[in-house]
Structure 1
């Protein structure tokens, strides 16, 4: 009998992309592997990507973890990279531990993946020492993300900030625009290109195109999150057509 794994996602109320891109990747995987997946979300209020709203939103994540654990999901993904990174260096470890304890206390101990932690862990797995990245954030938040990554021992060589403050506008971006935008980055000597360091900015359709074009491994926060979800389920972290990390 084929097992269906229940994927829980803790998402900002205005986030649309993670409930599109993660299911899209896992639906592709279902064509090649026996496992199937169902998807379940709980939302935290957030409309504008500002430090104030991010802090307020993050405080709601415990409630979301509790709600999702009521459904006895097999893994939970905290689907907002910058909300974690805005709380201080290394915060993904504290957040993941706290949310796991919430599920444990509710009688349904659940592995927790955060997009922030997934990006860091996957960059380390790829032995990335130097990267370039694209974000939709205002420049101060992009700097915060770069500082967070560099605190983990990974140099951010170059970054582009698209400066889109409204979270719905971020979700409305055409991922194929990234095929041109990335060419404005300095890719000299980098090990990995992060095409979207934001789980709300769509990039999945462009990942393989850009990787094939530039010859450098290309990932996104969503791709990294999918990798860590599969890893925590004890499954092969493979999805065809989504770049080297999932190949």
Structure 2
């Protein structure tokens, strides 16, 4: 059969991604990518070290990044991004800039890192005081806070999990619980750290509940990489990606979404005004089983996006 009339596949723009050896969320990165862009991923060599400051330093050595970038050059991407938050903040702001320069020189193309993209994204939404959520240990979380402080970003609250392995298995509900605990003292935004932490589906839900922009490591990485080649990241009602969303519920000045949700066990009474929209449990309940696909019949929360399947809050982590 003659198929010459099809004219071949659509022309693609290329984005190179250098990820740590244990990165498991390739599919999550793709969810921010428009159809005419392809991701080309490579990983740093395996080292038998748990998630820690030592690992962050090992996976971000300049020669490791140069070799990975040179390998990506074989498929001619237009930009290369280092998709690791801790690996790009462990050396401070000067260390992050040096990493980007090492990759740019090796590949003769624009280069960026997750931590550098995070600062660009915070400037984009004019966020100067933020809450942070991490899956890291205290020492790695402290290092993130030091990086942000050096960049002039204040921290109003934080929550971390203390994990040293298999971060990609964290359930969405755990991310949501940490976010609620971290958001105190009226931050301008919330940042969820670690490219191995699943976040795509919880961002619009948290923005609707907390009434503030919510950024994540994978989101800012893809936003910055695509912007570098003149493309826009895609995503459901996310303030970073859609200026209209910044003027919607997520951007509303809130007098209620700046305090953690009170629990009976704490002996605290939850303020009535803190219940914005549906109850949190209802906001995370819905129908369907395929993450990333439109959920026919999912509840309309009134913010232009569906609810999440209830079963994602327990049991095995869905594919990201």
TM-score (norm 1): 0.88
Structure 1 residues 143-222: aligned runs within 5 Å: 143-166=142-165, 169-194=166-191, 196-222=192-218
Aligned Cα root-mean-square deviation (Å): 1.6
CA distance in 2, matches of 1:139, 1:172: 19
Evaluate the alpha carbon distance shift between residue 134 and residue 61 of structure 1 in structure 2; reply closer, same or farther with a 3 A threshold: same
Task: Give 1:85 deviation, angstroms.
Answer: 1.1
The separation in 1 between residues aligned to 2:187 and 2:54, in whole angstroms, is: 33
How many matched pairs?
230
Counterpart mapping for 1:59-70 below 5 A: 59=61, 60-70=64-74
Shift of 1:242: 5.1
Q: Structure 2: where are the runs of 5+ without partners?
A: 1-6, 243-320
Higher radius of gyration, 1 or 2: 2
- Contact 2:15–2:226 (CA<8 Å) still a contact in 1? no
- Indicate the residue corresponding to 1:106 in structure 2: none
Residues 1:43 and 2:39 are matched in the alignment: no
**In 2, Cα distance between the equivalents of 1:238 and 1:73?**
17
Q: Is the 8 A contact 1:12 1:43 kept in 2?
A: yes
Corresponding residue of 2:27: 20
Give the helix-richer structure, 1 or 2. 1
Q: Which runs of 5+ in 1 are unaligned?
A: 31-35, 104-108
Please report how far the alpha carbon of residue 3 of structure 1 lies from its aligned counterpart in structure 2 after TM superposition. 3.4
Partner SS, residue 199 of structure 1: coil
TM normalised by structure 2 equals 0.68
Displacement over 6 Å in runs of 4+: none
SS in structure 1 at match of 2:240: helix
Work out which structure has the larger RCO, using CA pairs closer than 8 Å and 6 or more positions apart in sequence.
1
**Using the alignment, how far apart are the partners of 1:179 and 1:138 within structure 2?**
18
Deviations 1:160-219 (A, max 9, x none): 1111011xx20111123222221112332211111x211111111100001011111111
Distance of aligned partners of 1:242 and 1:94 in 2 relative to their CA distance in 1, 3 Å threshold: farther
